[in-house]
Structure 1
Amino acid sequence: MSRPALAAVPLPEPAPLFAAAKGDIAVSFEFFPPKTEKMAEVLWSSVQTLAPLRPQFVSVTYGAGGSTRERTHATVERIVRETDLPAAAHLTCVNACRDEINTIARSYWDSGVRHIVALRGDPPEEGATYQPHPDGYADAAALVAGLKHVAPFEISVACYPEVHPQASCAAGDLDNLRRKVDAGADRAISQFFFSPEAFLRFRDRVAAAKIDVELVPGILPVSNVGQTRKFAGQCGAGIPEWMDGIFEGLDDQPTARQLIAATVAAELCGQLYAGGVRHFHFYTLNRAELAYAICHLLGVRAKVAA
């Protein structure tokens, strides 16, 4: 005896991860100063590629111990001089007295820079313990307070969703963030992470602690797991085991690595977007294509000058 045919029940069509993205976000990009003329060309090409996305700001880092201070200064000044992008310069406490740092800050202000990323900084020798300069700023909170006395800078600082490796505990890490905000920080940019829950739970802890500051997730598209693992060891970020597996066997396939890197980072951004995040800060490593692709998925489109 044959059974009656069952009526087909239409299955709900799952919404694509980026279906809700409407371009209603702010983006910002971080670059590092070039060490050679060829690297300078790559950096400037990256700046020009990302400029049409109209980032809220672009920042330029220091090397360890302030070792690239002059190149950072030159790069920031070129961005101010040759583009209309809001440029932010990194400043750290390492290997500099207060007068030296204040002089650099005034020079930035005089050249048109209105935004500083204020960081304690890492010692020049890998693995060494941070020691403040005897005549310098003791930490990032002191640096923020000092910069606010130099000029009315907009100031961004760092925060750590997975706790700074030198913090005594998560509560102590939050207290350090509070000190930076109380000193005048306008924004806290997170170290990179690979779990959306890490950032969203951190956002909840900051809110529960009544620390009133804009929190911006730092996004690092990964195409070299070994290099990223070194970065992660310095800032306390966890790297999930599955990340090793998806890049396995691709050492000689740079294009495939880039495609996978963009996919993984874009999914992270999509999940953060679904959690209410509307500003993303990209650690570009001076490679524009990955950040550009992810921004496109998030609905950010290039604005062509009329």
Structure 2
Amino acid sequence: MRERTSDRVARLLAMIAYLATRDDVPLADLAEHFGVSQAQARKDVETLWMTGNPGYLHGDLIDFQYDRWEEGRVSLLDSQGMERPVRLGHGEAVALVVALRAIAELPGLAGPALTSALEKLTAAAGDAAVTASVVTAGRPAAADAPQVAAHLATVREALAAARRLDLVYVNASDVVTERTVEPLALLSDGDQWYLRAFCLRAGDVRHFRLDRVVSATLTDVPSERRPEPVDADTVRPRGREEVVLTLSPRARWVAERFGGTITGESDGAITVSLEVADPAWLDALALDLGPDLRALTPPVHARRVATAARRALAAYELIDDDTDREGTI
């Protein structure tokens, strides 16, 4: 079986730590310790010999003692600090915590290893972890990944069997309702999963965010409406509110990715019309766009995004102040 890149990288890093505590190791012993052939161990050392810090000049690379290498022995001269634990600045810690939290929100990706890493990093980051919570304000609340994964399985079963679902649902106003729905499609905007379904209570099509579903129960009652085909290029719920974004030309991908309509275009800007089902999703998109977003209407959305942006900027000012006092955690 072909070795995975992640497995080899892990072994290479472990080799550096192993060799850093020993003056001289026969190549055969190195291969035996890491459970690989001598030919593979030789390739690993040769790879490390060409690895180092940006610049990649002689003084930037991991180095071994050449005469011992010719004798079939491995002696590490310069590890470039690769055997030492990584120390993060506050800004780096915030970026890593935010990234891990975003991954943890995705259905099916959260697991013991990710949870443990996030807990340890959050504890080590201290105040930076609090800042990370502010930076992510305006994005959808973290989903209970195992619960969402269970709902995904139930919805997919309902779509495949063309049967109704009984839902207990909490809307954006924290009102709990019970619904019987006929599933039409399973959609995602990249941040959240949505069930597009005909709601018997409303007598119309509605979109239900799966992280707001308390329970989903498959019934024995067949659906009268058939599941809809989903266009993979526009996997998003069709909302009832239209918003208009004025973007820099390089942000044209917004219209292409989310099924928007370009309603105006000039040399300096484009105007994109989007249907939005969830204001929190719009906030996250606007913050991600940064300077590429020139204007947003209706104004109520622009004011909300501006408030979230000011909170994020204030948090980064706190990071700068902390970095002045100490550089690493």
Task: Report TM bin, short chain.
Answer: under 0.3
Q: Looking at CA atoms only, which structure, 1 or 2, has the larger radius of gyration?
A: 2
Q: Which has the higher strand share?
A: 2
- Normalization by structure 2: what TM-score? 0.26
TM-score, normalization by structure 1: 0.28
